[in-house]
């Protein structure tokens, strides 16, 4: 039997540099020195975000491929940059790798990241490498920039602003539940394979929206924004707290994909509950002053994106409430979870 090639830190870094260390003209020094050096973009402010993923907490290599883990880690960061209305630019990657790993496994992680970064020309300019006594740790830092003063904050919403979301909600959560059915060989809900595939794909290959985020900040179309990583109910509460406002959401307006509706029928679950709870959709939730509504609609047509008005911002004293499908107004409880495993049926 061939001996497994041992992972050699410096050889690995050299390989990462050759395969992934693409640099632009603004990169004075990328991978290979003590630190990276880049030209600051003229007249712009820097936007920086980081995310830590821990095997067994945020992902499980029994169900997700390494490429998928890398891809989703990159999307989570790109989505944060998108929610700030910024342009993503550079990435730094820190990994702690179990001793048994080979270099090709590490490279697969990076291939997933590259796939997510490529459309935005995000350049890998550095990182750090360590061995891990238990499981994989992956920490990604992505930087970007916005024109000075243009960053979209969570804190800009005002009473009277309209509340919008991009895309459809709850698909990723339904996809995750379907995957866990497969894994446990549970009887799957009776639904078409194309609906099933759509939902699983939404879970495995979410798409961040940095271009849409930039369109929202350009022309000040949005007054506030947040990305939907934890689920609408929780993320809306974050936005309302930061802005010191309340909100009224109409359950009947929540955008639901036909596949999610098919899943809800087949599994006898409530699609509105899924939409409020579901995380990892990486859609954007944002507020728009009523005077900007027309301009927003024009932008959405140009961008070919589905934007849905799901409610309105209210004064803080109103609280965060849901008008349910029978017309009753009730408090909107936080049902979203940071970690999906909590809602996957055993």
Backbone CA torsion sign across 82, 86, 88, 91: negative
Which residues from 9-48 bind ligand ADP, rule CB under 6 A? 13, 16, 31-34
- H/E stretch holding 277: helix 271-277
**Are 21 and 31 within 8 A, CB to CB?**
yes
Residue 95 touches which of ligand ADP, Mg ion, none (Cβ within 5-8 Å per kind): ligand ADP
Residue 34 touches which of ligand ADP, Mg ion, none (Cβ within 5-8 Å per kind): ligand ADP
Helix 103-117 vs helix 9-20: crossing angle, to nearest 10? 30
Nearer to ligand ADP, 51 or 227 (CB): 51
Q: Tell whether residue 312 is a contact of ligand ADP (CB under 6 A).
A: no
Nearer to Mg ion, 136 or 199 (CB): 136
Residue 13 touches which of ligand ADP, Mg ion, none (Cβ within 5-8 Å per kind): ligand ADP
- CA-based max dimension of the chain: 70
Q: Can you list the alpha helix ranges (DSSP code H) found in 42-151?
A: 66-83, 103-117
Nearer to ligand ADP, 13 or 344 (CB): 13
Q: Tell whether residue 128 is a contact of Mg ion (CB under 5 A).
A: yes
The DSSP bridge partners found for residue 91 are 124, 142
Minimum CB separation from ligand ADP for residue 39, in Å? 17
Which residues from 201-220 bind ligand ADP, rule CB under 6 A? none
Q: From the centroid of its chain, how far is CA 115?
A: 15
Burial-class residue 77 by CB neighbours within 10 Å (0-12, 13-18, 19+). Answer: buried
> What gap in Å lies between CA 244 and CA 171, rounded to an integer?
30
Nearer to ligand ADP, 13 or 153 (CB): 13
From 267, 228, 274, select the one nearest 251 (Cα to Cα).
274
Residue 16 touches which of ligand ADP, Mg ion, none (Cβ within 5-8 Å per kind): ligand ADP
**Are 158 and 288 within 8 A, CB to CB?**
no
> What gap in Å lies between CA 135 and CA 152, rounded to an integer?
36
Site string for ligand ADP, 104-143 (x = CB under 6 A): --------------------x-xxxx--------------
The DSSP bridge partners found for residue 145 are 46, 87
Minimum CB separation from ligand ADP for residue 117, in Å? 13
The count of residues interacting with ligand ADP (CB under 6 A) is 13
Minimum CB separation from ligand ADP for residue 36, in Å? 6
Nearer to ligand ADP, 128 or 270 (CB): 128
**Are 116 and 78 within 8 A, CB to CB?**
yes
Nearer to Mg ion, 85 or 126 (CB): 126
**Are 203 and 281 within 8 A, CB to CB?**
no
Q: Tell whether residue 9 is a contact of Mg ion (CB under 5 A).
A: no
Binding interface with ligand ADP (CB under 6 A): 13, 16, 31-34, 93, 95, 124, 126-129
Which stretches of the chain bind Mg ion, using CB under 5 A? Answer: 128
């Amino acid at each position: 039997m061939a001996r497994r090639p041992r992972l050699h830190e410096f050889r690995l870094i050299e390989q990462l540099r050759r395969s992934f260390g693409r640099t632009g003209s603004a990169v004075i020094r990328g991978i290979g020195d003590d630190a990276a050096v880049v030209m600051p973009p003229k007249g712009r402010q820097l936007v920086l975000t980081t995310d830590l993923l821990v095997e067994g907490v945020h992902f499980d290599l029994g169900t997700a491929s390494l490429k998928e883990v890398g891809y989703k880690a990159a999307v989570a960061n790109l989505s944060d940059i998108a929610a700030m209305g910024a342009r993503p630019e550079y990435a730094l990657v820190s990994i702690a790798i179990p001793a048994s790993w080979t270099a090709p496994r590490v490279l697969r992680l990076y291939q997933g990241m590259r796939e997510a970064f490529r459309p935005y020309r995000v350049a890998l300019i550095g990182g750090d490498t360590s061995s891990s006594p238990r499981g994989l740790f992956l920490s990604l830092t992505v930087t970007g920039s916005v024109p000075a003063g243009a960053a979209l904050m969570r804190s800009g919403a005002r009473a009277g602003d309209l509340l919008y979301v991009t895309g459809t909600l709850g698909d990723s959560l339904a996809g995750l539940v379907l995957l866990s059915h497969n894994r446990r060989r549970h009887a799957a809900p009776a639904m078409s394979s194309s609906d099933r595939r759509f939902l699983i794909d939404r879970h495995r290959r979410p798409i961040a929206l940095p271009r849409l985020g930039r369109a929202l900040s350009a022309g000040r179309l949005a007054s506030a924004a947040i990305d939907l990583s934890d689920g609408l109910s929780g993320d809306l509460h974050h936005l309302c707290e930061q802005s010191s406002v309340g909100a009224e959401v109409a359950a009947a307006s929540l955008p639901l994909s036909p596949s999610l509706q098919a899943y809800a029928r087949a599994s006898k679950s409530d699609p509105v509950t899924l939409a409020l709870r579901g995380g990892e959709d990486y859609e954007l939730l944002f507020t728009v002053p009523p005077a900007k509504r027309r301009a927003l609609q024009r932008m959405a047509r140009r961008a070919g994106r589905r934007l849905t008005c799901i409610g309105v911002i209210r004064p803080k004293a109103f609280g965060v409430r849901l008008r349910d499908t029978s017309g009753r107004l009730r408090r909107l409880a936080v049902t979203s979870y940071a970690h999906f495993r909590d809602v996957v049926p055993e």
